[in-house]
Amino acid sequence: MGIGVSLRDLRHDEFGFLTDDAEDSFRKMCQDAPADTLRRGVMQYGHTMFNSLQLRRLVDELEGLRSEEMTPAVSAILEAAKQAIRKSGYLYFIGD
């Protein structure tokens, strides 16, 4: 099982959930990211939470990916980050 992503609003109530694809493309993209990127901080075997300010940076990083790195799972997480920002919320990454 890959990384799960919980979309949380300002009160930390969940308003959505998605998972990485069968190939773990989001997890692999995070692992392969440069050390100074926010996405490199997504823990593979733990929990990571980004607030709306951090999510703005994550959105910039994801939008800057090469087209071959922009899998459907990565695109879905990009859209989830944008939704969380609109709600002043969070993305909560759950490693397995």
> The domain that contains 69 carries what CATH number?
3.40.1760
Does residue 89 contact residue 6 with C-beta atoms inside 8 Å?
no
Output the six-digit token pair for 70.
């922009």
How many domains does the chain divide into? 1
Identify the domain containing residue 55 by its residue range: 4-94
pLDDT band at 2 (very low <50, low <70, confident <90, very high): confident
Task: Record the pTM.
Answer: 0.94
- State mean pLDDT over 51-71: 97
User: Is residue 1 pLDDT above 70, yes or no?
Assistant: no
Between CA 10 and CA 54 the distance in angstroms is: 14
Output the six-digit token pair for 31.
């692992």
Altogether, the residues listed in the chain come to a count of 96
Edge-first strand order for the sheet with 90-94 is 14-19, 4-8, 90-94, 47-51
